[in-house]
Chains A and B, each alone.
Chain A
């Protein structure tokens, strides 16, 4: 059996290792245009901040791939012919397969701001190794930088630029930072923390256009409120999109929406072709869904491999969880919290004297989500409470079991409990 995996990110690599664990004989090949070896995309910022070398970002020793007999090909795929079961590469080589996995990931979303098309230098995303290269190159000649986008990649890029002592303006379209994950109260804690690091953070600012100098270098970012921000570097972090545009040009394109459409077993519309990770789009609760997190890509990569091996797989995303770090503030989340469902009631407690808070959302007598800022929690217990439909009182009472802070450093839950008694007494 010849397995071919397109993409050596976390979905592709997890799939390759899963295939190998189950099938010792198969030929397994991974193709990547981006890098020779699997690296941790989530750690790009630590390379930018000189805390790691590029080699340090590789989660497995290089010898693992040779030992597991996983062939690595560094090339760009230019064509897919599913009827002949073959990929054509830019080098002219052709790779034949019996089963193909598309795990091509995503790329930074490109906005259509007026003026952006004529900028030739000074603009970057922060998603790929090429983006990292570009950012490092740009940072050397930058005094003032503007970063646009109110998500996690945005704040990570901001942190990197602050580390390199750039004057950073951070523009967020929504009224507060990261409304997809944080409510206003948490966002205020995070925003003032970001500002304390010298960042000029603006909410409710939408880019109206950009200007470049005659040489094509970025010069100014204008917003719809009329403000102008001079800069020598513009970081665009308004989200990521499945990296599937190239698939429209191939001989046999799979059916696509935002991403490559897949069944609950990760099958694409093409025979013997599966897709997993950021690039896969599936139906969930009747809605087209694309999961673009490290965690989901890893999970999907493993399950898609099991599907390719012939196991019956019916994927539905488990209870959502995520984590992040905003400069020094850590964040753990589980369940539905970004937009609390209708009829939900929310218990929110900011820990006194700390940049920390707890939010527990309850709907119809069952906790549906938790959002924790500034201290460490075992989200696995949160997931269990949500799955078991535990009530708010139960969760508050058992909260200490999920604490994951360092020894001697546990957040004191007594004030939270006494506030809860007062709060629930109010009804």
Chain B
């Protein structure tokens, strides 16, 4: 039952696919379309003395994460995991995804985002761009993408990136928090996700390979260079602008907060595979689940957590970004995020069944 009063109605309507949620969706989609395909924001940025539309966007994005972060810190203040994680994600956004690149630009250094890695960010990995940067950047990018990302993924799960560092996850888990329950939990959505995210990963790997090849062959293969350039442009438009921007963030109020992360992000796909083989899991307390469904309802990745909890099975799902909200909302403390594979399993159920 919705709370009585106009403010409560609005809050409910905005978070339950009401008229106002659709209006907000329209505004967000329009915002991203204008941002990517017109000069509106470029002019607006110049008008207030900023060098580009991306600086303006960075300011807006960081402000959304900061304001949403304060809201989330207050809401989950009793939960230390949420407090620490939210503080880190706010810090990373403001410092590494905004201030550091701006400062670098100010000192006429190459603009570099230390919180982004391949395969999420191709520019800072592929030879055409990365080899123009000083050696330290090249090492950071290669070691970070090829070593740090999978290693940490194995040890603590993909959460270290998707819920602690990444800006997409940062927005979802701060300003997006009131909309997190909108993600579809149906098995059909799960089937779609398993195909879509790995298709994007495959395309991304192919593009990466082409960029290396085209760079290696250089002028000897002008056809390949042309094709690769067209491929890269299409990828930037379809995957980056459309799927991560317009669809991923624009549809928040009707589709939930992790549309991009769940269905399309190549980084999430890769880390998901690493996670399946790693130590991270959600431990389920035996026989304590009351099947209330809050865990599933508030899972932003659309995982039907309740299905595992009520079956007493601890689990690792590739999609899980380890935000920890299932454990937070569980009214019986049944769920726990953990990194150990070797937690001793308690004895089997103590129901005394004799086979007389």
List residues of A whose CB falls within 8 A of some B CB.
10, 40, 42-43, 46-52, 56-59, 61, 63, 136, 139-140, 163-165, 294-295, 298-299, 303, 311-316, 318-319, 321, 323-325, 328, 330, 332, 376-381, 383-384, 387, 404-409
Contacts and interface: CB of A to CB of B under 8 A. Distances in A.
Nearest to B336: A404
Contacts of B352: 314-316, 318
Contact of B332 (A312, A318, A325, A384): A325
B35 to A, nearest CB: 34
A380 B347 contact: yes
A58 B331 CA distance: 17
13 contacts: A47-B1, A51-B294, A52-B293, A52-B297, A59-B306, A164-B1, A295-B288, A312-B355, A315-B352, A319-B350, A323-B288, A378-B346, A408-B84
Nearest to B11: A50
Nearest to B2: A50
Interface string B250-275: 00000000000000000000000000
Interface stretch (B42-50, B73-81, B141-149, B228-236): B73-81
A314 B353 contact: yes
B351 A303 contact: yes
Nearest to A314: B354
A402 B293 CA distance: 24
Contacts of A57: 292-293
Contacts of A58: 293
Contacts of A387: 347, 350
B324 A321 contact: no
A163 to B, nearest CB: 7
Given A57-B293, A164-B1, A330-B331, A379 B356 contact: no
Contacts of A315: 351-353
Contacts of B297: 51-52, 56
B4 interface: yes
A164 B186 CA distance: 30
Given A323-B288, A406-B324, A409-B79, A164 B293 contact: no
Given A51-B297, A404-B336, A406-B79, A59 B310 contact: yes
B286 A40 contact: no
B229 to A, nearest CB: 46
B119 to A, nearest CB: 28
B291 A10 contact: yes
A328 B81 CA distance: 17
B328 A323 contact: no
Contacts of B21: none
- Chain B interface size band reads 35 or more
Contact of B292 (A40, A295, A321, A330): A40
Contacts of B347: 380, 384, 387
A378 B285 contact: yes
B327 A406 contact: yes
A377 B356 CA distance: 35
A43 B291 contact: yes
B351 A380 contact: no
Contact of B346 (A56, A59, A63, A380): A380
B285 A404 contact: yes
B1 A139 contact: yes
Interface string B326-350: 0110011100111000000011011
B1 A40 contact: no
B291 A59 contact: yes
Contacts of A299: 287, 351
Given A330-B331, A406-B337, A43 B353 contact: no
- For chain B, what secondary structure do more than half of its interface residues adopt (helix, strand, loop), or is it mixed? loop
A43 B346 contact: no
A164 B82 CA distance: 27
Interface string B1-26: 11110000000100000000000000
B313 interface: no
B341 to A, nearest CB: 16
Nearest to A380: B346
A59 B306 CA distance: 7
Contact of A328 (B78, B84, B355): B78
A56 B331 CA distance: 15
Interface in B278-297: 285-288, 290-294, 296-297
Interface in B162-202: 186-187
Given A140-B4, A164-B1, A380 B290 contact: no
Query: Which of B78, B287, B293 has most chain A Cβ within 10 Å?
Result: B293
Contacts of A40: 290-293
A304 B78 CA distance: 41
B81 A50 contact: no
Among A378, A380, A405, A406, residue most surrounded by chain B Cβ atoms (within 10 Å): A406
A299 B351 CA distance: 8
B80 to A, nearest CB: 4
B291 A321 contact: no
Given A50-B3, A139-B1, A328-B78, 4 more contacts: A165-B4, A303-B351, A312-B354, A324-B332
A390 B82 CA distance: 35
A352 to B, nearest CB: 17
Ranked 6 nearest A-B pairs via Cβ: A409-B80, A43-B292, A380-B346, A376-B333, A408-B80, A59-B291
Given A299-B351, A321-B287, A409-B81, A50 B1 contact: yes
A5 B337 CA distance: 38
A42 B291 contact: yes
A315 B79 CA distance: 40
B3 A42 contact: no
A43 B294 contact: yes
B85 to A, nearest CB: 9
Nearest to A47: B1
A61 B291 CA distance: 13
A407 B338 CA distance: 8
A139 B3 CA distance: 10
A47 B1 CA distance: 7
Contacts of A325: 331-332
Contacts of B285: 378-380, 404
A314 B124 CA distance: 66
A52 B306 CA distance: 14
Contacts of B78: 328
Nearest to B287: A295
B81 A406 contact: yes
Contacts of B346: 378, 380-381, 383-384
Nearest to A300: B351
Contact of B187 (A61, A165, A316): A61
B301 to A, nearest CB: 16
Contacts of A332: 333
B179 to A, nearest CB: 14
